[in-house]
Structure 1
């Protein structure tokens, strides 16, 4: 067992959250795929983290650019109720509460982006195994990411002001944040709208929303407690559960 794995094991043991399987690796195809393979063996708790993915993916099977040096972490959650879109929102909100990130100006972009006024610094992918068991994958940009395939503004925790990066500590805090989010979800996401809207990107700004019937423009009013987006359009208040949100001033796409 290498030094980082021992340190992480110790930190999670002290927090009372040591998973059955804990794997740190320098490179993998996809940490979500790694967790899926382990879960098929009957394991109920697992953490896989890599510094690079060769076939990372985001929402709708889009490529997730996964250069070396960042954090790509996946884990398994067992839920009391069937999964819905509120889980990703809870995970994002709990990540913002990580102790190491408290000095930074961070936001959440509906439905699954870790955001800031400077751009996206991370993302969340949830892949159900069953109605009440899901794989959660989170990617955090520790260093600047530059790639022609990225279709929106990006930034990194370093650029946002995280001066001293303790990688093992960040991995531990991230894993614990996901577990805490699971508890919030299992308790019906109490007061979700108020908590989310306090950190929401583009709040009260003009946005474009792409949905299955087309697109609309209006003022983003945040979300309802059930996780639905609220857009005040010329026709009145419209509510959506699926789609892509972007500010009108920037042709960005939600991943």
Structure 2
């Protein structure tokens, strides 16, 4: 079948289609900068809300307010409005409940793709090798698939290869967002912000997410060498590893010319 002539498609529709499929490689320098800042803020806010992060909340909120208006910025603002008002101990309890005690919203991305199988150990090793090839090392105790680590790598390495691990694990990110939404957790806004930066899900993606939500990741009674150490139990008793220490960011200050 021959495609319809372009003239038969309303100009507004063509414009919106082009905007929807715009590739990160075609972003302007300002857009790349804004995108990197959004990713770094997401990396910071998805870390355990210890005393240092709780103290930095006013600076983080100011950085979010200074973002260029976008769907991601709107979602970030919705989260920081909640984050700024909660007592620190309440934030800590909520974080542990959402990310440490629930299998469907764990922040370790390869779990959703490979479960507790040999393939997951290889996926962790491959991801660590990708970081090293880019001249980037994770801190001791950090698994390379921990979402804040993946986000920081994406922010520092750029929209192309830097964001490749996020695109690869899009289905897992979709499942985390779904689980947080079902739990009515404000952290859903952070996952929603991240998903606005990625290509829209395909029908196959949505079907896979639904199947993953129903059946869970694959299981295999083996270790995860070289990243095992007995830290991972079968899915029926899944307990993620202890949270890695927070990855610190330089002070978040608006650009010299003020908010845009």
**TM, length-normalised to structure 1:** 0.28
Higher normalized helix content (fraction of residues) = 2
Higher radius of gyration, 1 or 2 = 2
Structure of higher RCO (CA pairs closer than 8 Å, 6+ residues apart): 2
Higher normalized strand content (fraction of residues) = 1
